[in-house]
């Protein structure tokens, strides 16, 4: 069982992050039934970060990506991307935001590239739509070379491999020099080797151009290509894994991964499933503040049963009447018995006197 630490998500450090979500809520209504896709989600991406967001189907990750890209509007909370308040954008501002501030890569090639245009023409079209100035042809060559697909500049999507198509899609997404690049399952339709190649291309773009990148996926192997992985569960960010390289005492470099639980502003966190199952936690739990940590214990733990009372001897009551007293001993031999007393006894001399 892995050790999980707690990381507090705050937004007060110097310099505004490129992505800030605070208590983000998204509720969908269908046929009178409300579905809460995001339930107070918190997320922060600093400028230039490369982050993978993973989660099971239905966890809310695609809903989050739609909000960050400006395609959807949250129900409540705070969402800021590249300095724009997404809840306050008007229609025209939202269009300008999608054209210049964010780039987007879909899983399906048909949503990324126009099938009747070549790779170079697809990139040039993105520049034209955004009204880019300067030497567009030079920009087209530049981004295709960055993605290592300059050799397919004159090919249409149908003439490219799956990996080449996604690389060209990334080139289209970064053509307008956005501050944030969003990718929705960019390797979902690729084999393992091609997926690794595309992810390395995205990492190269992040390092060379400094564009903040968020990759949304359900594939946990994507986390091997990024320094930070955020897991989303039930509409909230639940855990984070931070990866770094350290040098041991022998001078050898070692990759280190540390898992943290995410603590929001009001003190909520989600315990990992394996922790909950191992301790049988459910309904209520007991918390106690220790010198350097908080202990969590099952709320239904067995309490020690009290031992049954030991029976004690009950003393016999003392005789309280003449009738309860024990009979006296018989008179000794030769001693005259006491005369009978009663209504029918003969009178004695004492009675006569």
Which tens digit of pLDDT belongs to each residue from 63-89? 999 999 999 999 999 999 999 999 999
| 3-state secondary structure at position 143 | helix
For the stretch 205-235, pLDDT in tens is 999 999 999 999 887 778 788 989 999 988 8
Task: Confirm if 286 and 299 have CB atoms less than 8 A apart.
Answer: yes
In the sheet that holds 236-247, the strands lie side by side as 4-8, 253-263, 236-247, 228-233, 50-54, 212-217, 180-184, 102-105
pTM (global) more than 0.85: no
Instruction: Please give the DSSP secondary-structure letter assigned to residue 72.
Output: S
Burial (CB count within 10 angstroms: exposed 0-12, middle 13-18, buried 19+), residue 305: exposed
CATH, range 4-101+178-270: 3.40.50.300
User: What gap in Å lies between CA 144 and CA 248, rounded to an integer?
Assistant: 40
Q: Could you tell me the CA-to-CA distances from 257 to 145, 227, 240, 254 in Å, in that order?
A: 33, 9, 10, 10
Structure tokens at 276: 């909950």
Residues comprising the chain, all counted: 353
pLDDT tens digits, residue range 25-45? 999 988 888 888 998 899 999
Give 138's contacts (C-beta < 8 A, 6+ positions apart): none
Environment class of residue 196 by beta-carbon count within 10 Å: exposed (0-12), middle (13-18) or buried (19+)? middle
Using the predicted structure, report yes or no on whether residue 124 has a pLDDT greater than 60. Answer: yes
pLDDT tens string 270-296 = 787 788 888 888 888 888 888 888 888
| Strand partners for 102 | 180
Look at residue 348 in the predicted model and tell me its pLDDT. Answer: 53
Question: Using one digit for the tens of pLDDT, what is the confidence trace for 183-205?
Answer: 998 888 888 888 889 999 999 99
Q: Hey, how many other C-beta atoms are within 10 angstroms of the C-beta on 265?
A: 13
Looking at residue 15, what is its pLDDT? 73
Pairing of strands 253-263, 4-8: parallel
Query: Can you give the residue ranges of every domain in the chain?
Result: 4-101+178-270
First to last CA, the chain: 109
Q: Which of 39-48, 147-156, 236-245, 330-339 has the lowest mean pLDDT?
A: 330-339
Q: Quick: pLDDT tens for 132-162.
A: 878 899 999 999 999 999 999 999 999 999 9
Token pair of 156, please? Answer: 């249409």
Read off the pLDDT of residues 299-319 as tens digits, 9 standing for 90 and up.
875 555 556 666 665 555 555
């Amino acid at each position: 069982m892995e050790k999980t630490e707690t990381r507090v998500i705050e937004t007060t450090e110097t310099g505004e992050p490129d992505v800030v979500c605070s208590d983000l809520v998204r509720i969908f209504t269908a046929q009178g039934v409300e579905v809460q896709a995001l339930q107070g989600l918190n997320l922060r991406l600093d400028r230039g970060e490369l982050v993978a967001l993973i989660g099971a189907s239905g966890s809310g990750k695609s809903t989050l990506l739609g909000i960050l890209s400006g395609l959807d509007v949250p129900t409540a909370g705070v969402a800021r991307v590249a300095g724009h308040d997404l809840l306050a954008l008007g229609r025209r501002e939202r269009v300008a935001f999608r054209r210049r501030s964010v780039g987007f890569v879909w899983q399906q090639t048909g949503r990324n590239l126009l099938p009747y245009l070549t790779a170079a023409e697809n990139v040039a079209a993105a520049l034209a739509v955004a009204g880019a100035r300067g030497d567009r042809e030079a920009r087209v060559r530049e981004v295709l070379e960055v993605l290592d697909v300059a050799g397919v500049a004159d090919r249409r999507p149908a003439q490219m491999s799956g990996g080449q198509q996604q690389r060209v899609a990334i080139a289209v997404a970064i053509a307008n020099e956005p501050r944030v690049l969003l990718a929705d399952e960019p390797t979902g339709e690729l084999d393992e080797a091609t997926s690794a190649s595309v992810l390395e291309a995205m990492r190269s773009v992040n390092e060379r151009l400094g564009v903040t990148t968020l990759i949304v996926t359900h594939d946990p192997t994507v986390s091997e290509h990024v320094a930070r992985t955020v897991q989303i569960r039930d509409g909230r960010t639940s855990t984070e894994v931070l990866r770094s390289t350290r040098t041991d005492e022998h001078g050898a470099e070692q990759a280190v991964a540390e898992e943290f639980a995410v603590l929001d502003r009001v003190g909520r966190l989600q315990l990992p499933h394996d922790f909950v199952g191992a301790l049988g936690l459910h309904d209520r739990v007991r918390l106690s503040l220790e010198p350097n940590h908080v202990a969590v214990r099952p709320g239904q733990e067995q309490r020690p049963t009290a031992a049954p009372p030991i029976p004690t001897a009950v003393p016999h009551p003392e005789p309280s009447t003449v009738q309860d007293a024990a009979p006296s001993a018989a008179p000794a031999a030769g001693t005259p018995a006491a005369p009978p007393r009663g209504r029918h006894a003969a009178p004695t001399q004492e009675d006569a006197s």
